[in-house]
Amino acid sequence: MFYRRIDKDKWNNIEFEPYIFSPFERFELFDDVFITDVYGILTDYLKYRENFMQKYENLFNDNDEDDDEVDDINDFDSVEQYKDSLKQKEHGKKAKKWGWESLLYDLCEGDLTKMDDIGNQSLIFVFNMLSMRKDMGHLETSKF
């Protein structure tokens, strides 16, 4: 994202340069940046991140029990409940492994041809949709 060129379209919307260049071609531009120019941005970024994480805490909080904790079969009413618990834990591990890809897959409702369309949406819009889908029980990915 650093040193991507920006331009305004005919309606004065900011458009970012697509990722068709190599950032290694522009690495020397960092030599001309002073730390005082960047330092102030860090506190703004940290405030933005904290606000973002609070706003979408329902997507980031891990409400499940510890994945490393071993279930005791005696704590369940039946063997089927115990097996279901093991399957849910395994699904949670896979969801963590494939977090972002799995979320995109959920948003595309399994249609991989829609991935680019989702990727071109604004971050806030995508997270609002994820929050809505989770609240309504439509989000298959349990956590990321």
CB atoms within 10 A of CB 139: 19
pLDDT of residue 8: 92
Q: Are 55 and 42 in contact (CB under 8 A)?
A: no
Exposed e or buried b for every residue in 29-50, given b needs 16+ CB within 10 A? eeeeeeeeeeeeeeeeeeeeee
Identify which of 33-37, 107-111, 134-138 has the greatest average pLDDT: 107-111
pLDDT at 61: 63
Asked if pLDDT for residue 144 goes beyond 50, the answer is no
How far is Cα 117 from Cα 121, in angstroms, rounded to an integer?
7
pTM over the 0.75 mark: no
Rounded distance between C-alpha atoms, residue 29 and residue 18, angstroms: 18
Residues 45-71: what's their mean pLDDT?
Answer: 76
In the block, which residue shows the tokens 């609240």? 135
* Residue whose structure tokens are 């969801």: 95
Residue pLDDT, tens place only, 15-31: 888 877 777 777 787 78
DSSP 21-52: S-GGGSGGGGGG--HHHHHHHHHHHHHHHHHH
